[in-house]
């Protein structure tokens, strides 16, 4: 009986790993594996858009548009309840984004809100002021004519009100109503588990920048 039980467990492990590596892998189901049935009944759905609605009202070059996808992610909100939000990202990163947010969910890292920026009429300012975590937004880096990594769905901003962009020389910060205080819920510091999780997948963190700090900002450059 013990041998049979071992064989069954090994078979399930093999099938799971095979599914995980296959191109047809269902990322939503993978995320669901970390939610038990009682939690599912209590999940608060922040956003339930399809991709076309989630990127509507914005002129996006075809070469970027065709690479975008939408991923459902679970997280623990500031209310300590389970939420489901949506991240628009580069299709190349959807597996990593799913795995990263699954790890953050297991670690119960608190996130205030996750909805596509279409809900804010593509205003990064309004999204940040509402403490919204987001990824894709076709826009330039503030104060420049250069496209942001967000324009390619390759950057995620998390809890902006607790993790602002700060220029310590000019004292400017964004969002303006933000406060960076390590004692506040959802604040990200260099030794935070969230930083270790993103870096494990090869992402960089704006909190490591030398002359300015963008504590909310995680990004992964495209390799050409």
**What confidence score (pLDDT) does residue 24 get?**
37
Q: Where are the alpha helices (DSSP H) in the chain?
A: 2-21, 27-32, 37-42, 51-54, 62-65, 94-106, 124-129, 193-200
Asked whether residue 220 carries a pLDDT value surpassing 90, the answer given is yes
Q: Are 85 and 47 contacting, i.e. CB atoms less than 8 angstroms apart?
A: yes
pTM for this predicted structure = 0.83
Q: CA–CA separation, 13 vs 137, rounded Å?
A: 38
Q: What is the C-alpha to C-alpha distance for residues 141 and 185, in angstroms, rounded to an integer?
A: 27
**Confidence (pLDDT) at 13:** 43
The dihedrals phi and psi of 150, each to the nearest 5 degrees, come to -65, -30
Q: Please say if the pLDDT value at position 128 is more than 70.
A: yes
pLDDT digits (tens, 9 = 90+) for 97-106: 999 999 999 9
Per-residue burial over 96-120, b if 16 or more Cβ lie within 10 Å, else e, is bbbbbbbbbbeeebbbbbbbbbbbb
Name 137's Cβ contacts closer than 8 Å, sequence gap at least 6: 117, 122, 124, 127, 148, 150, 151
Per-residue confidence (pLDDT) for residue 143, from 0 to 100? 78
* Per-residue confidence (pLDDT) for residue 32, from 0 to 100: 61
Asked if 184 and 201 touch (Cβ cutoff 8 Å), the reply is: no
Q: How many CB atoms lie within 10 A of CB 47?
A: 19
pLDDT one-digit tens code per residue, 37-78: 666 668 999 999 999 999 999 999 999 999 999 999 999 999
Strand partners, 82: 76
């Amino acid at each position: 009986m013990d041998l049979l039980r071992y064989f069954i467990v090994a078979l399930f492990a093999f099938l799971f790993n095979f599914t995980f590596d296959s191109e047809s892998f269902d990322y939503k189901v993978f995320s669901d594996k970390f939610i038990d049935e009682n939690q599912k009944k209590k999940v608060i759905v922040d956003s339930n858009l399809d991709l076309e609605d989630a990127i509507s009202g914005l002129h996006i070059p075809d070469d970027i548009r065709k690479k975008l996808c939408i991923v459902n992610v679970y997280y623990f909100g500031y209310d300590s309840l389970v939420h489901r939000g949506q991240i628009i990202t580069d299709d190349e990163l959807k597996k990593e984004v799913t795995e990263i947010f699954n790890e953050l969910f297991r670690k119960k890292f608190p996130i205030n809100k996750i909805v596509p920026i279409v809900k804010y009429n593509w205003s990064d300012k309004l999204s940040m002021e509402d403490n919204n975590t987001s990824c894709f937004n076709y826009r330039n880096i503030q104060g420049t004519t250069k496209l942001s990594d967000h324009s390619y769905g390759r950057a995620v901003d998390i809890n902006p009100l607790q993790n602002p962009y700060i220029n310590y020389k000019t004292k400017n910060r964004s969002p303006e109503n933000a406060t960076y205080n390590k004692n506040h819920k959802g604040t990200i510091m260099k030794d935070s588990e969230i930083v270790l999780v993103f870096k494990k997948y090869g992402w960089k963190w704006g909190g490591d920048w030398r002359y300015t700090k963008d504590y909310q900002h995680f990004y992964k450059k495209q390799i050409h």
